[in-house]
Structure 1
Amino acid sequence: MKPALITAGASGIGLAMAQAFERAGYHVHVTDIDAAALGACPAQWGRHQVDVTDEAQMAEVIGAIGAPDVLCANAGIAGPTALVEDIALSDWRACVSVNLEGAFLTASKAVPAMKAAGRGAIIFTSSTAGIYGYPNRAPYAAAKWAVIGLMKTLAMELGPFGIRANAICPGSVEGDRMEGVLAREAAIKGMTRDQVFAGYAAGTSMRRFITAEEIADMAVFLGSDAARSVSGQVIAVDGHTENPDPKL
């Protein structure tokens, strides 16, 4: 079976991607920093406890897998929520390190084997924060914009070797993280959860959050032969966000 490697693949969007690629017939490998989450993943998956910001660990896991047919550079963290003058340099660096340097290391360590194989698709998880400016989220938005620049550069560099690169930009995703956001905002504003949700959903034409599975479906498409001429593209899976709420 064709190997697919998903970073941060033991939970959330990454887990949905891993499950979708398994259904599509791939041999799934996931990395995650969370040992407990990895242990809960199916035994037939390749499970690798890895910090994506550690160059040696990323080199080791790629060496063990070889050339992935699909590489999903998915690992990321939210980073601080604050005005730029209130963000500590250490928090900035931590956010950029995981979101941008982790994506760089994931791709750079896999590219030599993928070039030798003469095939492959690299899929970066960016964000709608990589398309729009987001007040109070400077490090996250900056890193996600940079991921798109990295992707477009790799699409140019790697196309002659039969390797495609694209980026998915999720919007607000259903799940524990966004439920926490809704609860915190509701408490601060003296509103109900549903009232806060309505404010977020109003920024999308579909008036709803998206699911991790919808993002995973796009990843499987981008990794497949059906997308064999799709490269260098930024694809939002966000229910059509025209005027994003800057709190997202």
Structure 2
Amino acid sequence: MTDLAGRTALVTGGGSGLGAAIATALHAAGADVVVVGRDEAKLDAVAARLGRRARALTCDVSDPASVEELRSRLADTAVSILVNNAGVPGPVAALTDISVEDWDAVFDVNVRGTFLLCRAFLPAMIERGAGDVINVASVSGKRPLAHRTPYCASKMAVIGLTSTLAFEVGPAGVSVNTLSPGPVEGPRMARNFRLEAERSGGSVAEAEAAFVSRAALGRMVTEEEVGRAVVAMLDMPGLCGADVDLSAGMIA
């Protein structure tokens, strides 16, 4: 396994789901881990479960003042791995039925949050001449997914941000990459299947079967697999400006 001892990783959206799985994998690989999010109780639970070398800090990634406060609290910590995982799924509805407020809420977290965290923690990486940023996007940013327009558009925006940012900071020794998971087993996908079933009039099982049938392996990926993929990407020193699909063959 990759040895990340001596490095500190900051994982946004770290209180549950993919964020907690990514934090767990990084911690197991030896990194000190800071889990960040809005739910203090969930963050504390993750940090307590990981134990030594883990801490929890609250932050609203969409709020510049909150992000600046986070940066200030970590001023004495050399964050060399930044995983921008925080994200919201947004509405399941036709574009013509989506409010401006719902659209903005998705972009505020998924895109603005990624921008703000990069802006806050990249200067120190550039000064040290080393660092890794992994932005979690989605295969949904690269293929049609009806009734999920804000989410899909926001994830494509993250991919575009990553590819451009890689060329800005690569010369300073900082690598920026995107990890694009396919559908991940868990509460979020269960919610999406339920909402799609309500919209279409079918069953939840039918909605799930139709979705996973698009994958070569005929299944979703797991949270653990996403965590392992983040660690694997950090063990590929030539990887920069890349968008790595982890989709069980959803994109092939």
Q: How does 1:195-210 map to 2 (within 5 A)?
A: 195-210=206-221
Distance 1:190 1:168 in 2: 32
2:82 corresponds in structure 1 to 71
Q: Give the stretch that moved more between structures: 24-33 or 80-89.
A: 80-89
Q: Given the alignment of the two structures, is residue 108 of structure 1 paired with residue 119 of structure 2, yes or no?
A: yes
Q: Give the stretch that moved more between structures: 199-208 or 174-183.
A: 174-183
1:203-235, Cα deviation, whole Å (9 max, x unpaired): 000011110111111111222xx3111010111
Report the AA paired with residue 66 of structure 2.
Answer: Q
Q: How does 1:161-240 map to 2 (within 5 A)?
A: 161-186=172-197, 189-191=201-203, 193=205, 195-223=206-234, 226-240=235-249
Cα pair 1:121 1:222 within 8 Å, conserved: no
Distance 1:56 1:231, change over 3 A: same
2:132 corresponds in structure 1 to 121
1:60-114, Cα deviation, whole Å (9 max, x unpaired): 2223333322100111001112222211111111111100000000111001111
Distance 2:138 2:115 in 1: 16
Report the AA paired with residue 10 of structure 2.
Answer: L
Q: Given the alignment of the two structures, is residue 18 of structure 1 paired with residue 23 of structure 2, yes or no?
A: yes
Matched residue SS, 2:218: coil
Cα pair 1:31 1:50 within 8 Å, conserved: yes
- With the length of structure 2 as denominator, give the TM-score of the two structures: 0.90
Report the AA paired with residue 127 of structure 1.
Answer: S
Q: Given the alignment of the two structures, is residue 135 of structure 1 paired with residue 143 of structure 2, yes or no?
A: no
**Paired residue for 1:32, among 23, 31, 37?**
37
- With the length of structure 1 as denominator, give the TM-score of the two structures: 0.91
Q: Give the stretch that moved more between structures: 1-10 or 127-136.
A: 127-136
Q: What is the Cα deviation at residue 180 of structure 1?
A: 3.0
Matched residue SS, 2:87: coil
Distance 1:80 1:179, change over 3 A: closer
The CA RMSD over aligned residues, in Å, is: 1.7
Q: Given the alignment of the two structures, is residue 60 of structure 1 paired with residue 69 of structure 2, yes or no?
A: yes
Cα pair 1:67 1:117 within 8 Å, conserved: no
Report the AA paired with residue 165 of structure 1.
Answer: V
Aligned residue pair count: 240
Q: Give the stretch that moved more between structures: 178-187 or 130-139.
A: 178-187
- Give unpaired runs (5+ residues) of structure 2: 1-5
Report the AA paired with residue 60 of structure 1.
Answer: E
Distance 1:199 1:134, change over 3 A: closer
Q: What is the Cα deviation at residue 185 of structure 1?
A: 4.4
Cα pair 2:71 2:121 within 8 Å, conserved: yes
Q: What is the Cα deviation at residue 186 of structure 1?
A: 4.8
Distance 1:57 1:93 in 2: 18
Q: What is the Cα deviation at residue 184 of structure 1?
A: 4.5
Cα pair 1:32 1:49 within 8 Å, conserved: yes
Report the AA paired with residue 32 of structure 2.
Answer: H
Report the AA paired with residue 58 of structure 1.
Answer: V
2:3 corresponds in structure 1 to none
Q: What is the Cα deviation at residue 42 of structure 1?
A: 2.5
User: Identity of aligned pairs, percent?
Assistant: 35
1:14-41, Cα deviation, whole Å (9 max, x unpaired): 0000000000000000101112211212
